[in-house]
Chains A and B, each alone.
Chain A
Amino acid sequence: MLLRFKLLIILSGFTIANSFAQAGELTISTVGEFTFHSEKEYITPSIQTIDGEPYYVDVFKDSAVLTNIDSKKKYVYDLKPLQLYRHYFMALRFIEIDRCVAIHGLRDQLVIYDCKKKEKKVIQLNPFLRDKEEPSIGLFQQIPKMGNKLIIHIMDKQPERDTQAQRDSIFSRPPFIVYDLKDGKVTRPSDGKFWPDKYTGQYTFEDWAPTITHNDKNKIFLSFRQSNKIIEYDLKRDELCTHTVAQLDYLPDADSLSGGTMSQRREFNITNASIRNHIYHPELKQHFILVKDSSAFIVDDRIVTYNKINWKLLVLNRDFTLQNTQEIKMSELQWYMLGYSNKSILLAGALHDKDGLTYRPIKALKL
């Protein structure tokens, strides 16, 4: 009886969540399957646009493998001189086909590395960081490249995170700085409302780093796991504005998780909807926001896993009105990887084994 009542409540939540306008069906097709590099010390994969072309980039302890998604041409680079693993470089971004940038998390450095000449240039980020700030590195951290500029996430140093004062202090600060690859200058945006209002004064959510995407010219967009607000920053004007996405109004309130234990956080993350990724397609001029929907916590006497929850991709126009909604089966995809090519959005599939080899399918959402 109690379970039925719970289900009723959850279903009513789904009804609200599903009140998205539904336009025509979009199609997802597989554009290629890529064999997984044999090396064991696998760090993190991503889909990156390099010189206007989409690449699947696998990063390992001492090497990187780039595969052009359209032509299937492969490039393998030795990254030993970067000492990637030992120094916790977790974010690696190719700015040209043979040149990459990485963030050295412990030394607050940005490293530009020429894979052919094996030469590196180190840029010290300290002068642009305030006390207790550091460049953000994490397993799925990206270094977005906007034209000739790199967007570098910054955040408070981790040991300081559990104090409310530290949390509050970041609300007026930009969560990124911008490095210009042409003239080597670093720009730090002026302080302002870079965070949604409801995050203020709350030490609750785990998403310290917002998802950052951009229009490849001058506009940077920030989205947050549990907010219906998208923050837009104009780099040329050093100006901020906030957009509200009506379809995301059902994301939970900030105080729901106040003081939660690890178990409570797990339940919170499963039962509540959240934004997990966001990418802007500069040619189509549309936003693609990947949303993990709300869910029951226990079904058939088992805790629900993310793979069993409904995910959806919201397609929003430039003015943040809804264009379309695409249901996504997360058992087949990996939420942290989104990329784009000419007229489509690229999604990475989950790894699977076949004939002793491991494969990663890349799927294209044609629009």
Chain B
Amino acid sequence: MMFLMLLSLFNPIDDVRYLENYLQTQGHELEPSKVYVVISGYSCISCSKRAYVLLDDLCDVSNLVVISSEPASCKASANGLVWIQDTKNDFDYMPYNFEGLTVIQIENRKIKRKVFDLKNLNELSKYLENSLMVD
């Protein structure tokens, strides 16, 4: 069992092709300049709702793509935020094993990801505002 646990560390979780294939099934092409935000179905519902409120405030940012099982809010739709709604939560079954809210950036065909606990969104808020949104 320890072998299994150790081997799991070498999972190809930074391989971009799963995300690329997934986006194609959803009618989108992978754009390396974009920042992808995945809200996993393995999160508490009220925590996810707080994440949506936070994303609403950031929805005028053009390089953000949100993947979630929930529909985009009115504000997000009105501002043209790219929002992929996948009611089947297929994204949760990609080999990345998402949890909470994951911010994904693409570098050299590799996935760089940062996971945020939805119970504490302050960190996420700072991260999105300071690291990603400054042109």
Contacts and interface: CB of A to CB of B under 8 A. Distances in A.
**Real complex partners, A and B?**
yes
A271 B4 CA distance: 9
Interface stretch (B7-15, B51-59, B74-82): B7-15
Contacts of A267: 8, 97
Q: Which of B1, B2, B93, B99 has the most CB of A within 10 A?
A: B1
Contact of B97 (A5, A9, A266): A266
A76 B100 CA distance: 40
Contact of B3 (A2, A9, A253): A9
Given A253-B1, A303-B94, A297 B8 contact: yes
Interface in B87-128: 92-95, 97-100, 115
A256 B94 CA distance: 24
A262 B42 contact: yes
* Chain B contact patch, size range: 20 to 34
Interface residues of A, number: 22
A10 B1 CA distance: 9
Interface string A242-280: 000000000011001000011100110001100000000
Contacts of B99: 261-263, 266
Contacts of A297: 8, 11, 97
Interface in A181-210: none
B13 to A, nearest CB: 10
Contact of A263 (B1, B18, B97): B97
A261 B117 CA distance: 10
A301 B95 contact: yes
B1 to A, nearest CB: 6
Q: Which of A6, A263, A297 has the most CB of B within 10 A?
A: A263
A178 B3 CA distance: 43
Interface string B55-69: 000000000000000
B95 A302 contact: yes
Interface of B: 1-5, 7-8, 10-11, 18, 21, 42, 92-95, 97-100, 115
- List of 7 A-B pairs having minimum Cβ-Cβ separation, nearest first: A262-B99, A263-B97, A263-B99, A302-B93, A303-B93, A298-B95, A6-B7
Interface of A: 2, 5-6, 9-10, 13, 252-253, 256, 261-263, 266-267, 271-272, 297-298, 301-303, 305
